[in-house]
Structure 1
Amino acid sequence: MHGFEPGQIVPTTPLMLSHKHPDDRARVDGVLRRAAETGQPFSSVHRILDATGKTRTLAVTGQGRRDPGTGRVTELFGYFIDVTQSHREAAARDATASIRASAERRAVIEQAKGVLMVVYGVDEEAAFELLRKASNQANIAVRDIAFTLVHLFSGPAVTVFPTRAAIDEFLADPIPPGEL
């Protein structure tokens, strides 16, 4: 996982530490120093730069080994586990979920702007400004104002397009989504 062929190098603590990602090096050094002082089990997830310069993510777990005569910690031993692929997959899943959620929020905002554009005869920017103003006055997120507006005027029982008076009333005192 460090990018060396078997037998190519003699693994040493300084060599392993030199491959720690610069942003993770101090934290990992602290974990290892505490383990070397106490002998207690340790674990860390951190990045390394392998011999080819690629960034890899490792999970490390181990503990100190004590000299039976002195009781001092003489070495740290444990396991390195390469979690690069699973870490990337989790990050990709999180990014996809975030993008999907953002698109869903954006869609309901676009629908609400459309309602306001038709009812008030304004452009997209002015429609968003109406949502923003209602959001600020009620201290409710724009996406929640938009969701409620769309929900109130698009349910199965709605048979006519909302009147300007109904929208004026809603924007003056929006209902939080949890109170529908």
Structure 2
Amino acid sequence: MSRQEMPVPASSMGNNADQVGIFHYDVLAEKWTWSPEIFEMHGRVPGEVEPTTELLRRHSHPGDTTHLADVITAAKAPFSSQHRIRAAGGRIVSIVVVGEPNRDVDREVRTVHGYFINLTSSKAAEAEQRNDLADEAAGMRFAMASRAPIEQAKGMIMLAYGCNAADAFQVLIDASQQSNTKLQTLATNLVAEMETGVAQPASARTHLEAALLRLGRRAG
């Protein structure tokens, strides 16, 4: 496949990458050709430096166990590899490199060409999304903790007024708005008030006992 024929990988399209740069490496001449995007990923301006194997090594992140230069220059088959670039100025750029070697009639690799795909901002977006998910999970945990006293308070109102759950919830909302008190706080205080040990009105107890007896017999 010629350099012009090689398609841009599908993973580099759309929102998965911010930049796609094309490279070409002539194995025999040890000569590199970079598109402007690859210079930019390295924090360089086209023409500022000549792209070389040594330049790739100097910009490799020290934490990467495999050097990008080695992956490309030793390529014997199509490859895809993830790396980090330490750009001029210290900025760390996360990239995926997709490449393909070309062989001559003797089956020797003569050139390697492919793409540098900048994933840096995509990774930042993923990290932000993870933070959003963590915030959402924390909110759900808070909501679950808040739900218990609200449900208890609804049950008390349903018993006292002989209403359904929706009407009981509306009573709580109305009381919350009139007193300018958060719904969860109002419900918690109401439950605490009913847990003081003070005997409840006989009518409420009688109604509850009758319901428990009736339902208990039905279950039996």
TM bucket by the smaller chain? 0.5 to 0.7
Partner of 1:36: 74
Query: Does 2:99 align with 1:62?
Result: yes
1:73-132 CA-to-partner distances (Å, cap 9, x unmatched) read 2332111122222221122112211222133224534x38xxxxxxxxxxxxxxxxxxxx
Structure 2 counterpart of 1:45, which letter?
Answer: Q
Deviation at 1:62, TM superposition (A): 0.9
Deviation at 1:28, TM superposition (A): 4.7
Is the partner of 2:81 in helix, strand or coil? strand
Partner of 1:27: 66
1:127-175 CA-to-partner distances (Å, cap 9, x unmatched) read xxxxxxxxxxxxxxxxxxxxxxx39x718973365998xxxxxxxxxxx
TM-score (norm 2): 0.45
Is the partner of 1:159 in helix, strand or coil? helix
Partner of 2:113: 77
Given the superposition, is the C-alpha separation of residues 102 and 53 from structure 1 closer, same or farther in structure 2, using an over 3 Å criterion?
same
Give aligned-pair identity as a percent: 31
1:13-47 CA-to-partner distances (Å, cap 9, x unmatched) read 231132122222x23559816x8252x21112332
Partner of 2:50: 10
CA contact (8 A) 1:36 1:75 kept: no
CA contact (8 A) 1:61 1:79 kept: yes
Is the partner of 1:45 in helix, strand or coil? strand
Given the superposition, is the C-alpha separation of residues 27 and 100 from structure 1 closer, same or farther in structure 2, using an over 3 Å criterion?
farther
Specify which structure has the bigger relative contact order, considering alpha-carbon pairs within 8 angstroms and separated by 6 or more residues.
Answer: 2
Cα distance between partner residues in 2 of 1:2 and 1:105: 44
Partner of 1:158: 155
1:46-80 CA-to-partner distances (Å, cap 9, x unmatched) read 321101111112221111122x1431223321111
Cα distance between partner residues in 2 of 1:159 and 1:86: 51
Q: How does 1:86-105 map to 2 (within 5 A)?
A: 86-105=122-141
Count, aligned residues? 121
TM-score (norm 1): 0.53
